[in-house]
Amino acid sequence: MSTVDLNNVTTILFDLGGVILDLDMQRTFDRFAELAQMSLEEITHKISTDPVFGRFERGMISSEEFRDHLSGVIGDEVSITELDKAWCAMLMGLPRLRLETINNLRPAYTTAVLSNTNAIHVNEFNKIVEKEFPGDSFNKFFDKVYYSHQLHLSKPDPVIYEVVLNDLEKQPNEVLFIDDTYENIESANRMGMRTWHLTNQADLIPNLIND
C-alpha cells in the first residue's frame, strides 16, 4: 500500500511493535543464547515452540510465573534483572515525531492501539515514553489502548477484533487497522475492517501526514 485512503474512516487502530515502537526480536534471541550458553538456533527453537510465551502474552500466567519458567529455560543462575533485560532487549526506540504525529490525528480520528504484548514489556516501553515525554505515559497519546495480556486474547484470533470494535462502538468498515504481521491483517480483513499491512515502518508517518 503506497498511500493511505482515510475516506470514511473514523478510527485508526495501530499495532505497537514494528509499527509505532521500533522492534528487533533478534536482540532478545541473541541475549538469551548468550545467557543460556546455547547456540542461537537451539534457543530460538526452544522459545519459538514453547507455549508459555503465548500464555504470558494472553495474561494466563503472571510475570513471576513467566520469569520462573524462563529461568528454567535460560538457567537458574541468571538473575531476574538479567532475564528482564534480555526479554526487553527487543524493544528499541519510540521516535518522538512518530508519537506526536499520531497524537495530532486527534480529534479528527479516534486513535487506538491493539498489541500482542505482556506486562513486563508494557512496563518497559512506558519507561521509553517517559524518557522522551517526562511525566507522560504511553496511554496519554491514544483514545484507547488494548493489550493482549489484559484482554486474555491475542491477534489473529477474530474474537479480539470483535471485543475492540464493540468497545470502540465502531463498525468494521470505519476502522483502519495497521499491522506489520500479515496473518493479523488477513484476520482483520475477514472481519470487514480496512487494513494496511505495513512492510516498511518508515512509510507510516509520511502517509498519515500526506493523506
pLDDT in tens, 159-174: 999 999 999 999 999 9
Q: Looking at the structure, tell me whether residues 98 and 194 fall in a common domain.
A: yes
What would you measure as the largest C-alpha separation in the chain, in angstroms? 56
Q: Looking at the structure, tell me whether residues 200 and 110 fall in a common domain.
A: yes
User: Is 2 a member of any domain?
Assistant: no
Q: Looking at the structure, tell me whether residues 81 and 113 fall in a common domain.
A: no
Q: Looking at the structure, tell me whether residues 76 and 123 fall in a common domain.
A: no
> What CATH number should be reported for the domain holding residue 194?
3.40.50.1000
Q: Distance between CA atoms of 188 and 43, rounded to whole angstroms?
A: 32
User: Is 101 a member of any domain?
Assistant: yes
- pTM score of the predicted model: 0.94
Q: Quick check: bond before 206 cis, omega within 30?
A: no
pLDDT, tens digit, for every residue of 61-94? 999 999 999 999 998 889 999 999 999 999 998 9
pLDDT band at 1 (very low <50, low <70, confident <90, very high): very low
pLDDT at 132 over 90: no
pLDDT, tens digit, for every residue of 142-197? 999 999 999 999 999 999 999 999 999 999 999 999 999 999 999 999 999 999 99
pLDDT at 5: 79
Q: Looking at the structure, tell me whether residues 169 and 185 fall in a common domain.
A: yes
pLDDT at 76: 85
Q: Looking at the structure, tell me whether residues 104 and 81 fall in a common domain.
A: no
Q: Which domain holds residue 66?
A: 25-87
Q: Looking at the structure, tell me whether residues 127 and 153 fall in a common domain.
A: yes
Q: Looking at the structure, tell me whether residues 118 and 205 fall in a common domain.
A: yes
> What CATH number should be reported for the domain holding residue 52?
1.10.150
pLDDT at 3: 64
Q: How many domains does the chain have?
A: 2
User: Is 5 a member of any domain?
Assistant: no
Burial class (CB in 10 A: 0-12, 13-18, 19+), 7: exposed
Q: What percent of the chain has pLDDT over 90?
A: 88
